Structure 1
Amino acid sequence: MKSLLVKGSIALALAAAFGVNAPAVNAADIVPVEPTVEAVDANHAGIAGANLLLNAFIERHPKAAITEIAFDGEDSQIKYEVEGFDTTGRYELKYNFSTDQMSETKEGDYKVALERKAFDPTRILPPQAIVNFAFAQAQGQATSLNSWSVKNEKGRFVYDVEFGAANHQEIEVIIDAFTGELLSVKGVK
């Protein structure tokens, strides 16, 4: 798979930026899915960088609940984002690899309704397994990993994985974050 990312240097730069040697968050065991294709591994920048930012968020807000984890590699920009909340408010931590800028914003106050959007990142399927499964669903048409995110959509925790394809087309694959159930595939011809 053609990728916009350079694995090693990005992961090392992120580790240095966050003062972390390796991701500390461990994901749940993978549910066997077929077909499996190895397109990324745990050291891929789209995976390792998101884990490092998640660890940084948890260090800043140890009692926080997580509502979204995302990687975006489109437009020659590599970005990571983690959203969550604690009793003091909602927070969003972003890191832009291209500019080496990390920023955190308070997005609002704590509200009980946020509890429904929270998930335990140690209980979801690992992002590398989901990206590989999503890549297999692209039936050889994916040329780059554009983005992935995990969040609550309409009451269900899902991974939304997007790939670039020929002629500036996009392939989007939605997968249940806990079970690995394939929910939809768009853009495959």
Structure 2
Amino acid sequence: MNKKIVTGIVCLAGVGLLAACDNDATADISKETFKISLNEAVEIFEEKHPNATITSINFDKDFGEYRYDIEGVDNSKEYEISVDATSKDLKEKEEKLDREDANGQKKRNEALNLEKIISPQEAMKAALAEMNNKGNAVEWSIEQELQNTYYSVQVKDGRTETEVNVSATDGKILSVETDQ
């Protein structure tokens, strides 16, 4: 009898913890203000690696902390810096490029054009408007395909997740893909 009660309590506690985690994972970052901006995070990367070109930027929650994960390359190495959006705490990683990516190949193919792009807030606003303001923006990234730089904004509404791709230069919606 006691085993059943203890098992029931453990199960309820587990469900409660999972529900709390899910609520936190769906917080709307479009309404949040962070101490470190995208521009500051990019400046940190560029100060650490002045000869590198940025190839991707991702903003999401990692172990309870919002972080900018910025990747870039020079002619021989790939760099990754993770900047805490509140404390400016840095994590760095670096590795040698594969032969096919070395000598500027990856640098040319995957370089992000960060000139004259809209802010993450503008991209999230456009993505949420496309979703009729239903759901929360839970993460975003800046990506490049065919020399077009765009934001990929993840919007979560209950159990439905939608990826909205927004042009980084003019805020127009490029595509919408929903997973249920």
Normalising by structure 2, we get a TM-score of: 0.68
Name which of 146, 158, 167 aligns with 1:176.
Answer: 167
Name which of 125, 133, 144 aligns with 1:132.
Answer: 125
| 1:149 and 2:141 correspond | yes
Q: Is the 8 A contact 1:65 1:120 kept in 2?
A: no
Which residue number in structure 2 is paired with residue 79 of structure 1?
A: 67
Which residue number in structure 1 is paired with residue 150 of structure 2?
A: 158
Q: Is the 8 A contact 2:54 2:70 kept in 1?
A: yes
- Structure 1 CA distance for aligned equivalents of residues 115 and 85 of structure 2: 25
Alpha-carbon shift at residue 170 of structure 1 (Å): 1.3
Q: Is the 8 A contact 2:37 2:85 kept in 1?
A: no
Alpha-carbon shift at residue 148 of structure 1 (Å): 0.6
| 1:53 and 2:44 correspond | no
Q: SS of the counterpart of 1:103?
A: strand
- Structure 2 CA distance for aligned equivalents of residues 96 and 152 of structure 1: 23
RMSD: 3.1
Alpha-carbon shift at residue 82 of structure 1 (Å): 0.8
Q: SS of the counterpart of 1:58?
A: helix
Alpha-carbon shift at residue 62 of structure 1 (Å): 1.9
Q: Is the 8 A contact 2:124 2:153 kept in 1?
A: yes
Higher RCO (Cα < 8 Å, 6 or more apart): 1
Which residue number in structure 2 is paired with residue 12 of structure 1?
A: none
Unaligned runs of 5+ in 2: 1-25
Query: Which structure is larger by alpha-carbon Rg, 1 or 2?
Result: 2
Name which of 99, 104, 108 aligns with 2:92.
Answer: 104
How many pairs does the alignment contain? 150
> Residues 162 and 75 (structure 1 numbering): CA distance in 2 closer, same or farther, change over 3 Å?
farther
Alpha-carbon shift at residue 184 of structure 1 (Å): 1.2
Alpha-carbon shift at residue 90 of structure 1 (Å): 1.5
Deviates more, 1:179-188 or 1:125-134: 179-188
- Residue identity (%): 25
Q: Is the 8 A contact 1:50 1:69 kept in 2?
A: no
Normalising by structure 1, we get a TM-score of: 0.65
- Structure 2 CA distance for aligned equivalents of residues 96 and 121 of structure 1: 20
- Give 2:33's aligned amino acid: H
Alpha-carbon shift at residue 154 of structure 1 (Å): 5.3
Alpha-carbon shift at residue 94 of structure 1 (Å): 0.9
Q: Is the 8 A contact 1:125 1:177 kept in 2?
A: yes
> Residues 54 and 90 (structure 1 numbering): CA distance in 2 closer, same or farther, change over 3 Å?
same
- Structure 2 CA distance for aligned equivalents of residues 138 and 48 of structure 1: 27
Which residue number in structure 1 is paired with residue 6 of structure 2?
A: none
Alpha-carbon shift at residue 55 of structure 1 (Å): 1.3
